Chain A
Amino acid sequence: MPTYEGRTLQEAIDNGLAELGLARDEVTVDVIAEGKRGFLGFGRKPAVVNINKIEINADSFNIAVPAPEKHHHELRDDRRPQAAAPEETPAAAPVPAAAGDPPPAPVHHHHPAPPSGPNPREQHIEAALAQVSAYVVNVTTALGLPTTVKIEKTGRDKWTFFLTTDREGLLIGKHGRTINSLQYLAQILFSHLTHSHDTVELNVGNYRERREEILEKLAVKTARDVVATGQPIFLDPMPSFERKVLHATLADNPYVITHSEGDEPKRYVVIERKKGSVI
């Protein structure tokens, strides 16, 4: 049985498809190993998948469109962008999930889609997500950084677009400036299309997690300095979701209090000694 490796599942699948010269909807994919990203190069494990050609007549998967409900989001997310932007993004087009497949369950298992039926509102949101995904792919392609996008619901009102690209640093920009701008535009487009209040987050590799870790460390270190000197410290301007990390990290700290000052987009966190707190 042919197996293929890659840093991520997506990459493993892409590698396999490239080698076989087949499209995603001509094969079944079984995940053998999920792969681990590791930390600083330790504990990294490749994702391994098994790819087999499906022997069915070509038109059967055009009919079987109603996907198994659980895989609903993912199917739409992957398929629509291709339809929306076929000529512009050949390299970046997300791997289409085959509607006629027997559910390739392992590929989807980290997709916490609610097992609810396709109600109109949900379909509407999915169509919008697909459009936003096409937007992101188009823009990154125009930037010369072709990207594959995978969408997951990561909160009650939150959708995370996981972007995979060769040169992550260029897409992220200094302190995440580029990716945050693109995220803002994606959010605007999504809100405009759906009139919903859901949040759209763009993640490149594990950038958001890395950034969160850095901010938590910054919060702890700054709090220590504030306690040591008794002087308030004003941090650099940050977007709201990053300030939130700082506030949350120090919320339980009995010696300091935090608040934000200034106007968007240059709002910043202030950390100061809590009055009356005794060390």
Chain B
Amino acid sequence: MVDIEHLIRSLVTPLVNEPDAIQISRRETESFMEFDLRVADADVGRVIGKQGRIAQAIRTIVYSVRSPYAKRVRLNIVDQNS
């Protein structure tokens, strides 16, 4: 069984400047198990990337694992400025 939160953390931590500011919370919605990723304001760009390419790559990897929940996994990157 893959620990999704641990996976997200290991993907994101080396990419940011403030690893201590990483927060991952989980909530269940109608058809997804949603993981909300929060990073320091200055690091948001680092996990999203130009045209969202880094975010896309992270999602591709996270979604490649079989969901340990009954629902599909979804990864949201929360931009606290907006």
Contact = CB atoms under 8 A, between A and B. Distances in A.
Interface in A164-185: 170, 173, 177-178, 181-182, 184-185
A188 to B, nearest CB: 6
Contacts, number: 59
B24 interface: no
Interface string B1-31: 1110011011100110000000000000000
A141 B3 CA distance: 10
Interface stretch (B34-42, B49-57, B74-82): B49-57
Nearest to A184: B57
B5 to A, nearest CB: 10
Given A185-B15, A188-B49, A142 B3 contact: yes
Contact of A142 (B2, B53, B60): B2
B65 A144 contact: yes
Nearest to A135: B14
B58 interface: yes
How many B residues touch the partner, as a band? 20 to 34
Interface in A65-79: none
Contacts of B49: 188
B10 A139 contact: yes
13 contacts: A139-B61, A142-B3, A143-B65, A178-B60, A181-B61, A182-B61, A184-B54, A188-B15, A188-B49, A188-B54, A264-B51, A264-B53, A265-B53
Given A142-B10, A143-B7, A189-B14, 12 more contacts: A131-B14, A143-B64, A144-B1, A178-B60, A178-B64, A181-B56, A181-B58, A182-B57, A185-B15, A185-B54, A264-B51, A264-B53
- Ranked nearest first, the 7 interchain pairs of A and B with the lowest CB-CB distance are A181-B57, A181-B60, A142-B7, A178-B64, A142-B10, A138-B10, A184-B57
Interface of A: 88, 131, 135, 138-139, 141-144, 170, 173, 177-178, 181-182, 184-185, 188-189, 192, 264-265
